[in-house]
Each structure stands twice: as C-alpha cells, then as structure tokens.
Amino acid sequence: MDISMETRGRVKLRKTMPGEKAKDAGLTLPEEMKRAMFECLDRFHHEIRSQAIEKILLMFAVIQPNSLVVATEKDIRNYTPKLTEIFDKFSNEDMFREIERLWRHLEAAKISVEEAKK
C-alpha cells in the first residue's frame, strides 16, 4: 500500500502495563490506515451480502410461513409476481388460489394466527 503520509505534531504515546510489549501499545499510522481500509471493505462486503439476501427474501416472500398466515390479500397479490416471473411453472392465480385454500383450512380447523406461526 504505497501511500505516502505526512506526519505532523507529536507522536501519540500510550502507557504500557507490566507485561505489555511496545508493539502492543498501538498501531502505527500506516497500520491504522490499513486497518481502516479493511474495516471499510468488510462493511461493503456485508452490505452487498445483505442486499442480496434481502432480494432473495422478497422473491420468496409469498411462500414464507409468516407471510402466508399474516399477509393480506393485497400483500399476497404483490408478492406472487416476484416468484412467478422466475419460476414459470406457477401462475399468479394458481398461487393465490392455493393460499386462499390454506386460509380457509386454517379457519375451518380453528387454528389461530399465533398457532399457525409456530
């Protein structure tokens, strides 16, 4: 990392405890810069991964148990196209019909929302 840095002012010193070595006292300026850069790269990697996972969760939202039980008809109609555009074996109406059938079954079996979430 051939980045030139100008140092000004006094060097920051830290008291060492018994048993500590001088290397334990802290990072040098280049080491601190390298640590900060790696921290930024880790953060970017985490955010990119989080965005990818969020996209997958939105795609499969219609078949997640929590969505099946709690979501409204409007929510389900918004979720189904995201799944059916990738998996062409399913149609929007078939998916919605099956979800309505599940809702009727839960209602007939007198299963509460809390029980169904488990």
Determine the pLDDT at residue 23.
58
pLDDT, tens digit (0-9, with 9 covering 90-100), for 101-115: 988 888 888 887 777
Tally of CA atoms within 13 A in the half-sphere of 33 that contains its CB: 10
Name the residue type at position 54: E
Tell me if 2 sits within 8 A of 33, measured CB to CB. Answer: no
pLDDT, tens digit (0-9, with 9 covering 90-100), for 2-44: 677 676 766 666 666 776 666 555 677 888 888 889 999 999 9
Given a cut of 60, whether residue 50 has pLDDT beyond it is yes
What is the pTM for the complete model shown? 0.52
Name the residue type at position 63: I
In SS3 terms, 38-92 reads as HHHHHHHHHHHHHHHHHHHHHHCHHHCHHHHHHCCHHHHHHHHHHHHCCCCCCCH
Determine the pLDDT at residue 39.
92
Determine the pLDDT at residue 37.
92
Determine the pLDDT at residue 43.
92
* Domain definitions of the chain by residue range: 25-59, 61-118
